[in-house]
Structure 1
Amino acid sequence: MEDITVSELKNRLDKREKFQFLDVREEWEYEEDNLGAMNIPLGELPHRISELEKFKDEEIVVHCRSGARSGNAKKFMESKGFSQVRNVLGGILAYRSL
């Protein structure tokens, strides 16, 4: 599935569109600044993937600080059968610079 730009994400959040939203940064990063996504740090994702099973066939937008960890999360989730995972290009850094 195509990745998502921070502009597209901002538009969708502003419109309060419904989609699953996942932040894979560390808990302390999430506590400092977050966009309201569910927080599962990338290192915990393999052990907590069952928390996302019910969303396996739904769109899941994943973000992190810069887009690298969320890219890895996307690849991992796709390997587990998740079909509609989108990475936020540039992460929260790019989002905050809009």
Structure 2
Amino acid sequence: MDSTQIFIYTLLALIVFYIARKVLLYRSVKNYSPAELAEKLKKDKNAVLLDVRTPMERKQDYIRGSFHIPLYDLTANPKELLKFKDKEIICYCRTGNRSLTAASKLSKLGYNSANLKGGIIYWKKAGLK
């Protein structure tokens, strides 16, 4: 086996690992469609929205009523999240990727967490504000 084949097999293994990890992560976290989430937020006062995007992304647009902790700061200041310990924290980002990671991290820390499928992009496509 030459170095090119080793490189290709290594690359393929990494891609398979990444996809498998995302599938397992997606299955381990509750996911809401934009319509499901909008309905839940109307009815459930124990649900809160967490924007895990960067501050610059947040300045451009956000979902009304959400609070903001960037993904990279999520575990740095746990006191900020303690006030939501008895609530369901529904994370969102631009596409649903980072928020999936955030929801998984929060779940491991003992929080009731979920993810917005498709992020703010799907939220806007659904005509929600």
Q: Under TM normalisation by the shorter chain, which class is it?
A: 0.7 to 0.9
For 1:5 and 1:86, locate their aligned partners in 2 and report how far apart those are by CA, in whole Å: 11
Q: Deviations over 1:13-35 (max 9, x none)?
A: 4x374222100000111110111
TM-score in terms of structure 1 length:
0.87
Task: Find 1:4's aligned residue among 17, 32, 44.
Answer: 32
User: What corresponds to 2:68 in structure 1?
Assistant: 39
Deviates more, 1:47-56 or 1:24-33: 47-56
For 2:75 and 2:63, locate their aligned partners in 1 and report how far apart those are by CA, in whole Å: 23
Equivalent position SS for 2:36: helix
Greater helix percent: which structure? 2
- AA paired with 1:11? E
User: What corresponds to 2:104 in structure 1?
Assistant: 75
Task: Find 1:60's aligned residue among 89, 94, 103.
Answer: 89
- The answer to whether the 8 A contact 1:65-1:92 is kept is yes
Aligned residues: 96
TM-score in terms of structure 2 length:
0.68
Pick 1 or 2: higher relative contact order, CA cutoff 8 A, min separation 6: 1
Equivalent position SS for 1:55: coil
Computing the radius of gyration from Cα coordinates, the structure with the larger value is 2
Percent of counterpart pairs with the same letter?
35
For 1:52 and 1:16, locate their aligned partners in 2 and report how far apart those are by CA, in whole Å: 22
Q: Which runs of 4+ in 1 moved over 6 A?
A: none
Gaps of 5+ in 2: 1-28
Counting only pairs closer than 5 Å after superposition, residues 74-93 of structure 1 correspond to structure 2 as 74-82=103-111, 84-93=112-121
- AA paired with 2:106? M
* Deviation of the 1:56 alpha carbon: 1.9
